[in-house]
Amino acid sequence: MSGLLDGKVAVVTGGGGGIGEAVARLFAAEGCRVVVAGRRPAPIERVADDIAGLAVTADVSREDDAATLFAACEDTFGRLDILVNNAGMVPPRAGVEDQDMAPWEATFAVNVRAVILCIKHAAPMLKRRGGAIVNMASRVALHGFPGQIPYSASKFAVLGITQSVAHELGPFGVRVNALCPSATLTDEQRRRLAERAHDQGHTVEEQMEAEILTAGALYRAVMPGDVAAAALFFASDRSSAITGQHLVIDAGRP
């Protein structure tokens, strides 16, 4: 049986773990050849080896690294059909009066500058035959969240990039959409939950119940595979008439 992405080539940034790893593995299972990018060699090489993909070590907030990433894709596969801008960071929580500009700058470098740099260098390849860009925004790109001002602001920016680039690249058959997941139960999220549980004198189970499970209509956590499935929809021809949009994956949080 053929896959939804047979014959396609994708670049997935932040592909060494969490949502990015789930996307890379699902895309490969659907017939896609995947370039797995990330700042640390070991995780991306592990994923790439498992899916017969290509690992490229790159800090995509740096233009030279972003250019090298897409040059490697061109040299190896000769084409690009899908870009998943998944690389991101969540700074420490802080109130408005305690904002430190160093986390602001780091957050915008990874969450915003890296997105536009990857699109800049992917666009010439995508325009050849059309394709799809999937940007990772967040549920906090829609309403903000106390204590996460730089993160929320950066993800609002991702939605602006998504809508603007969708209009610019649409005439070339390139669709651009964004995903807005709520807190997703990656290994990193589990670590943060454990830290907050310790700080508040709760068990991890109690913290998860309070923060995640009871917050949504489905009474369940969002898993990396849930977000990967949404990325597959936007990357495949099943969303061929959709661009400049965002999709919320949050298990029904109000």
What CATH number corresponds to the domain at position 130? 3.40.50.720
Model confidence at 143: pLDDT above 80: yes
200's tokens:
């508040």
79's tokens:
């084409």
Query: 35 φ, ψ to 5°?
Result: -95, 115
Q: What residue type is assigned to position 249 of the chain?
A: I
Positive or negative, the Cα torsion across 195, 197, 201, 203? negative
Question: What is the C-alpha to C-alpha distance for residues 250 and 246, in angstroms, rounded to an integer?
Answer: 13
Give the mean model confidence (pLDDT) for residues 150-173: 97
Chain centroid offset of residue 200 CA: 30
- pLDDT score for 185: 84
Same structural domain, 93 and 194? no
Length of the chain equals: 254
Model confidence at 254: pLDDT above 80: no
Q: What is the pLDDT of residues 4-51, one digit of tens each?
A: 999 999 999 999 999 999 999 999 999 999 999 999 999 999 999 999
Which are the contacts of 195, defined by CB distance < 8 A and separation ≥ 6? Answer: none
Same structural domain, 107 and 207? no
Same structural domain, 141 and 31? yes
Q: Is residue 2 part of a domain?
A: no
Same structural domain, 156 and 204? no
104: left (phi > 0), else alpha (psi -120 to 50), else beta? Answer: alpha
Q: What residue type is assigned to position 180 of the chain?
A: C
Which are the contacts of 16, defined by CB distance < 8 A and separation ≥ 6? Answer: 36, 38, 40, 42, 43, 44, 46, 47
Q: Is residue 3 part of a domain?
A: no
Q: Is residue 254 part of a domain?
A: no
Q: Is residue 1 part of a domain?
A: no
Same structural domain, 213 and 240? no
Same structural domain, 199 and 240? no
Residue 86 in contact with residue 13, Cβ under 8 Å? Answer: yes
pTM (predicted TM-score): 0.94
Same structural domain, 193 and 244? no
Express as a percent the part of the chain with pLDDT over 70: 100
- Residue-number span of the structural domain to which 200 is assigned: 185-221
Give the mean model confidence (pLDDT) for residues 224-236: 98
Residue 191 in contact with residue 230, Cβ under 8 Å? Answer: no
Which sequence positions are flagged as catalytic?
151
Query: 204 φ, ψ to 5°?
Result: -60, -35
Angle (CA) 104 109 114, round 5°: 150
Question: What is the C-alpha to C-alpha distance for residues 47 and 45, in angstroms, rounded to an integer?
Answer: 5
Question: What is the C-alpha to C-alpha distance for residues 37 and 34, in angstroms, rounded to an integer?
Answer: 9
Give the mean model confidence (pLDDT) for residues 118-140: 98
Same structural domain, 119 and 27? yes
Model confidence at 89: pLDDT above 60: yes
Maximum separation of any 2 CA atoms in the chain, in Å: 57
Same structural domain, 107 and 214? no
- How many independent structural domains does the chain possess? 2
Helix (H) / strand (E) containing 244:
none
Give the mean model confidence (pLDDT) for residues 105-122: 98
Q: Is residue 56 part of a domain?
A: yes
